[in-house]
Chain A
Amino acid sequence: MRKKILVIIPAYNEEKAIGKVIEDLLKYFPEGDILVVNDGSRDNTSAVASQYEGVTVVNLPVNLGIGGAVQTGFKYAARYGYDIAIQFDGDGQHLAEEIPLLLKRMEELQADMVIGSRFLSPDVDTFRSTMGRRIGIKIFEWINSLLIRQRVTDNTSGFRAFNREAILFLAENYPVDYPEPEAVILLGRNRFKIGEVQVKMRERQGGHSSIFGWRSAYYMIKVLVSIFLVALRYRVR
């Protein structure tokens, strides 16, 4: 039986990038349905995304942040019976043609979540973010690996594939503030199996990262606190 696959694209003010992202997906990954979660954008993100045939757009009336937007996608996937959900950024850093890599890895490992990692094979040539961020990501790697005893090299990557069990779980329990590193802990602590596969990423095409400068230190501290709390708290299943 063919699996139903949903590509979830959280988008906040991405009118410049979203069109290309959708075109790439339609071209390189036509077997997936596309869901754009427009997270209360003030630009034309919604209108641009709605132009494309076969793209579903969910407009959130207020901005929830990336976690709330992605979770909306999981709720949609849970309700409409999707077997697999792909989380895919709306700013064009992820490559649509690499989605099958994630799916293949999921099959091989029988994993519940597969993360597209920039750091798994150091010899692959790809954009790997700035020095400061790499240090932060390394710290996440150590801490998360320690806490869940599974090695995850790219905790902040937003390029991920989830199976049905993970979808159902995350539709109910998704971290809202800094979802990527937290979701790893959350799933790990609840005995989901996590895998990774090396991918390439592009530098962002439009827009700005929400995290820069002094905010990164603040971000690190906040995320670390949340991670420890999640690790202490959750064992839902």
Chain B
Amino acid sequence: MTRVQLVAIAGSLLYLFVIFPLVFKKKIREEYALLWLFFGFVLLILSLWREALHFLSSLVGIYYPPTFLLLVLIGAIVLILVQYSVVISKLTSRIIELTQELGLTKMELEKLRKEHKQETKK
């Protein structure tokens, strides 16, 4: 086993050790955890299974196979960031909608209170 392979395995394991408890304790919702976990396992498998890594690297024309691991990692990060933008946008439009509804509802409540006060006075 070469030194770079050991580092790759250690890195992948560390990654999984960080992600897994978060998913387990539901600090990350499953729908978002999927991408994280998937890429963690892909990295681990490619670190352990040299032949696969070499094959895939030669397939895309990479001479130094560990670089392929970095490529996977960068791909994962980009994908996850894009997903974040989607999620954040969805949250934003929900917050806007909720804020508007809350404003309108509070206004109605206020109006009802006033009417109620006047009625009890009569």
Which A residues contact B (CB, under 8 angstroms)?
37, 56-62, 64, 68, 71-72, 75-76, 79, 176
Q: CB-CB < 8 A to B14: which residues of A?
A: none
Check if B100 is an interface residue, CB within 8 A of chain A: yes
Check if B94 is an interface residue, CB within 8 A of chain A: no
| 9 extra interface residue pairs, beta carbon distance < 8 Å, beyond A62-B99, A64-B99 | A57-B107, A58-B106, A59-B103, A61-B102, A64-B96, A68-B100, A71-B96, A71-B100, A72-B104
Please tell me which one of the listed residues B95, B96, B107, B111 contacts residue A59 in the complex, with CB atoms under 8 A apart. Answer: B107
Inter-subunit contact B107/A60 (CB<8 Å) = no
A57 to B107, CA, bound (A): 7
Main secondary structure of the interface of A (DSSP, over half): mixed
Q: CB-CB < 8 A to A57: which residues of B?
A: 107
Q: CB-CB < 8 A to B111: which residues of A?
A: 56
Inter-subunit contact B99/A61 (CB<8 Å) = yes
A71 to B103, CA, bound (A): 12
A76 to B93, CA, bound (A): 18
Inter-subunit contact B100/A72 (CB<8 Å) = yes
Residue in chain A with minimal CB distance to B100: A72
CB distance from A66 to the nearest CB of B (A): 12
Q: CB-CB < 8 A to A64: which residues of B?
A: 96, 99-100
CB distance from B77 to the nearest CB of A (A): 25
Inter-subunit contact A61/B107 (CB<8 Å) = no
Inter-subunit contact B106/A75 (CB<8 Å) = no
Residue in chain B with minimal CB distance to A67: B96
Inter-subunit contact B106/A59 (CB<8 Å) = yes
CB distance from A144 to the nearest CB of B (A): 24
Q: CB-CB < 8 A to A72: which residues of B?
A: 100, 103-104
Q: A60-B99, A62-B99, A64-B96 are in contact. Are A75 and B104 (CB under 8 A)?
A: yes
A9 to B104, CA, bound (A): 15
Q: CB-CB < 8 A to A61: which residues of B?
A: 99, 102-103
Inter-subunit contact A68/B96 (CB<8 Å) = yes
Residue in chain A with minimal CB distance to B111: A56
Mark out the residues of chain B between 65 and 122 whose CB falls within 8 Å of any chain A CB in the assembled complex. 93, 95-96, 99-100, 102-104, 106-107, 111
Residue in chain A with minimal CB distance to B107: A58
Q: CB-CB < 8 A to B106: which residues of A?
A: 58-59
Inter-subunit contact B99/A68 (CB<8 Å) = yes
CB distance from A41 to the nearest CB of B (A): 12
Inter-subunit contact B96/A176 (CB<8 Å) = yes
Please tell me which one of the listed residues B93, B96, B100, B107 contacts residue A56 in the complex, with CB atoms under 8 A apart. Answer: B107
A61 to B93, CA, bound (A): 15
Q: Show 5 A/B contacts (Cβ-Cβ < 8 Å), sorted by A.
A: A56-B107, A60-B99, A60-B103, A71-B96, A176-B93
Inter-subunit contact B103/A37 (CB<8 Å) = yes
Residue in chain A with minimal CB distance to B101: A75
CB distance from B118 to the nearest CB of A (A): 14
CB distance from A96 to the nearest CB of B (A): 23
A61 to B103, CA, bound (A): 7
Q: CB-CB < 8 A to B99: which residues of A?
A: 60-62, 64, 68
Q: CB-CB < 8 A to B107: which residues of A?
A: 56-59
